[in-house]
Amino acid sequence: MSQCLSECSVDHVVLERGEIANSWKHERWDSLKLLTPNWQSRLPGYCYNGDEPDGYMAMPELISFIEKYARQISAPVKLETRVTSVSIGGGKYQVATTQGNWQCDSLVVASGACNQAQIPTVAEAAPASIKMITPIDYRNPEQLPQGGVMVVGASATGLQLAEEIHRSGRPVTLTIGEHVRLPRTYRGKDILWWMDALGILDERYDEIDDIVRGRNIPSPQLVGSRERDSLDLNRLTALGVKLRGRLAGFNDGKAQFSGSLRNVCALADLKMLRLLNTIDEWVTDNQHLARVDPPQRYDDTEVESSPPLLMDLTKNNINTILWATGYSADYSWLDIPVLDRKGKIRHDGGVVDSPGMYLMGVTLLRRRKSSYIHGAVDDARDLSAHLVAYLESKAETVQA
């Protein structure tokens, strides 16, 4: 957004509570690699130009990618400047920070969608003796006590951490709700290449029938690795990870699981198959566009015929619970009535319900790709144009 505002000669400042690339430096685990391929990492006027376009950046590379961008665009960033409140007064946004106050006509909230871990209320009933941890605080398995670990949540974060922790010698039980299964590559190309080529990632928020549901779809089960392997539940079963249904609660030292495991897995298999069929149809219609491998199909997810609905945590030596149950944004500093019942900012494609205020970087903000790094390119272009028009109309009103 800063680059787009500079291109339009809009005087602006970027307030950052920590360092550049702060969330990637301080809120991610050690082994994390992006699940988006390098060629997809782009920002306005900037893209990956290394030797491994099909590889996946580890955190140090990503941090340096973002730092270089900030230098290249001379972003006017004020570091170590935490915004502590934003209110409206005298027709302007009044921004209080740990380094003084600012006033502005327009405000872009780009404070991230993943500032805090979402922990379900059932956690309150978990036995006090068990260590609880979230992906924001998790760095590596050595942090965890020896013994078993229950990982709650089977999207990208849950699967990646379940595998890493299990390989460290701490037996993992994974509890699974609705999830999105995807192969890493299909017909010789990255699955995100296909989603890009088919225009799926460009689908707009106002073209989607059920936007509330669309904005709550879990992240796909993908991992970035040198081998470009798929990370799915069958791979975890082969390693020895135990699969259980969605965590429903705790009672008398026992975890209770929903009986929906077979159904949620069958649904994820079906949805993956539908996507592969769509890709195959696209290939048939666009043979001149891409030279690709023949179609493939994958085994259905293997699930025990009657997965247990209860697990005695002590008997199974479960000493840790890792809540991989999603993330949420922290808007505790926002003193403007723009939040809905769930604490999310009300907006129409990033245009917030308060004149001159904009939102960036949240799921399906304007397009399916909005929550990805490269999603910022189109979103920032659209929203900066709206912002410039707003400032011009405000200036005209003042002159009149």
Ligand X SMILES: Cc1cc2nc3c(=O)[nH]c(=O)nc-3n(C[C@H](O)[C@H](O)[C@H](O)COP(=O)(O)OP(=O)(O)OC[C@H]3O[C@@H](n4cnc5c(N)ncnc54)[C@H](O)[C@@H]3O)c2cc1C
For residue 36, give the DSSP letter.
S
Q: Which residue, 224 or 245, has its beta carbon nearer to ligand X? A: 224
Contact 257, 243 (CB under 8 A): no
Site for ligand X contains 35 (CB under 6 A): yes
Site for ligand X contains 336 (CB under 6 A): no
Site for ligand X contains 311 (CB under 6 A): no
Site for ligand X contains 327 (CB under 6 A): yes
Q: Which residue, 264 or 334, has its beta carbon nearer to ligand X? A: 334
Tell which residue, 323, 326, 322, has the closest CA to residue 170.
322
Element (H, E) at 148: strand 148-152
Structure tokens belonging to residue 248: 């429903």
Can you tell me which residue has the tokens 């001379």?
74
Site for ligand X contains 297 (CB under 6 A): no
**3-state SS assignment for residue 159:** helix
Q: Which residue, 77 or 266, has its beta carbon nearer to ligand X? A: 77
Q: Which residues make Cβ contacts (< 8 Å) with residue 84, sequence separation at least 6? A: 96, 97, 98, 333
Can you tell me which residue has the tokens 């990370």?
231
289 Rama sector, left if φ>0, alpha if ψ -120 to 50, beta otherwise: alpha
Task: Mark 363-382 with x for binding to ligand X (rule: CB under 6 A) and - for no binding.
Answer: --------xxx---------
Site for ligand X contains 34 (CB under 6 A): yes
- Beta strands (DSSP E) in 105-235 are 107-109, 116-117, 131-133, 148-152, 172-176, 180-181, 185-186, 189-190, 220-221
Task: Mark 153-182 with x for binding to ligand X (rule: CB under 6 A) and - for no binding.
Answer: ----x-------------------------
Q: Taking CB under 6 A as the criterion, which residues in 104-133 touch ligand X?
A: 110-112, 114-115
Distances (CA, A) of 372 to 114, 158, 315, 328, 378: 12, 18, 41, 15, 11
Sole window of 33-41, 193-201, 234-242, 280-288 interacting with ligand X (rule: CB under 6 A): 33-41
Distances (CA, A) of 176 to 34, 78, 133, 242, 372: 22, 42, 18, 10, 24
Q: How far apart are CA 327 and CA 150, in angstroms?
A: 18
Q: Which residue, 96 or 292, has its beta carbon nearer to ligand X? A: 96
Site for ligand X contains 18 (CB under 6 A): yes
For the CB of residue 307, give the shortest distance to ligand X in the complex, in Å: 27
Applying CB under 6 A, among 5, 6, 12, 16 the residue interacting with ligand X is: 16
Applying CB under 6 A, among 36, 173, 175, 319 the residue interacting with ligand X is: 36
Kindly determine how many residues on this chain lie close enough to bind ligand X according to the rule CB under 6 A: 25
Sole window of 29-37, 42-50, 343-351, 388-396 interacting with ligand X (rule: CB under 6 A): 29-37
| Interface positions with ligand X (CB under 6 A) | 15-18, 22-23, 28, 34-36, 82-83, 110-112, 114-115, 157, 327, 333, 360-361, 371-373
